[in-house]
Amino acid sequence: MDFCLTEEEQSIRKMVSDFSREVLAPKAAELDENNRFPTETIKQLAELGLMGIAYPEGYGGVGAGSISEAIAVEEITAACAATGSILTAHYLGTDSLYLGASEEMKQKYLVPGFTGEHLFAFCLTEPGGGTDVSSMKTTARLEGDEYVLNGTKIFITNAGYADTYIVYAKTDTALGARGISAFVVEKDTPGLSFGAGDNKMGIRGARTDEVIFDQCRIPKENIVGEEGDGFKLAMQVVDRGRIGIAAMAVGLSQAALDEAVSYSKERIAFDQPISKYQGIQWMLAEMEADIEIGRLYTYYAASLKDKEGYRLSKEASIAKLFTSEASNRIVHKAVQIHGGYGYMKEYTIERLYRDQRILEIFEGTSQVQKMVVSHHLLGK
C-alpha cells in the first residue's frame, strides 16, 4: 500500500496552492466582512478544472480522481473557507446527477457544470428536518407532462447564485423516505424564489438562503432516475459530501497551525519568542499530529469514492467526525497561542475560529456521524 501522492496529485496540490495563495487568500477577509459571494471566482475555478476535477472527461471533467479533489478542497479552504464551501456544495449537486441521472441528463447539465457555465446547489434540508430527511414537507405532484413543486428548503449554499438546483421532494407522501424523488430545477423557472439571505457566524462569503417553491412547474423529464429513488440517492451523495467536509477541516486546520507557528516565532515574551517555550511547542506538536492523522484518513476515504459499488458511509463519517472535531481543538489552540490578539478581527485566526464551527454541523452533526459508525459496528 503506497501512502505517497502521485506526481499528478503533487502537481495539483502545487497548482491549487499557488492559485489559492495568490487569488483567494487576499480577498477572504473582504468576503467575510461584506457577506459577499465571490461570483468572479467561479470561472477561475473552472479554468483550472476544479469544478469537475474528479469526474470523467466525457462529461467535461478532468478525471483526476477523488484524492485530487480532496487535495483541491483542502488547499482552497486553507486560503478561503467560504470558497471551499461553495465548491463542496457544487459537488453535492453534480454528484446527484453523476450517480442518479440518465446519460442524456448528465450530458445536458454536468458539462456546463464542470466548465463553469453553471453553478449547482443541493436542496435537501428543510425548516423542520435536517437529519430527519424522511420528514420533508416539500412535494412534487405530477400533472400531465409537468411536476408541480411546493415547499421550502433552508440553509442552501449557493442559493440565488446557482444556475442548477437539485431538489429533493416527496412524490408520494404516504411512503415516507421511499416516496422521495430528486429533480433538476433551473434558476429562472417560474415559482422558484429565494429568501433574504442568511447572516451567518462564519464562511460568510458562501451565501446560504431559503429556496422556495410555489407552484413551481418543471418538465416531467427533469426527474433524476425514477420516482422513489431520491432518498437512497441523497444518502449516497451526503456520504461522499462528508469527505469534502473532512478535506475542508484539514485545510482550515492547516491554515490555523500555520498562523500559530508564524505568530509564535514573532511574539516576544520574557526576552524570547514564545516558540521557545515548551508549553507552546507541545501545543503545536499536538496540532500537527491531529492534522496529519486526519489528512491521511481523509485521503483514504476519498480513494474509496473511486471504487465502483463501494458503500463508504462508515469511512466518510469517521473522516468527517475526526477531522471536524480535530479542527475545533486545533483552532482553539491557535487562538490561545495568539492570546488577546487572537480575539481581534485584524488577525486571520479570528475568522478561522468562526469559520471552523460549521464543520461539526453541516453534512450531519458529529452526533449523526457517531450514529452512523455505531450502526455499522452493531449491525443495525
- Catalytic residues, which ones? 363
Cβ(31)–Cβ(23) under 8 Å?
A: no
Q: Strands (DSSP E) along 71-145, which ranges?
A: 120-123, 139-143
Question: Residue 132 is placed in which grid cell?
Answer: 430527519
3-state secondary structure of 140: strand
Beta carbons within 8 Å of 214's beta carbon, 6+ residues apart: 150, 191, 193
Beta carbons within 8 Å of 378's beta carbon, 6+ residues apart: none
How long, in residues, is the chain?
A: 380
Question: Residue 41 is placed in which grid cell?
Answer: 471566482
Instruction: Find the angle CA(290)-CA(291)-CA(293) to the nearest 5 degrees.
Output: 65
Beta carbons within 8 Å of 165's beta carbon, 6+ residues apart: 93, 120, 121, 123, 159, 184, 185, 186, 187, 192, 211
Residue 132 half-sphere exposure toward CB, CA atoms < 13 A: 7
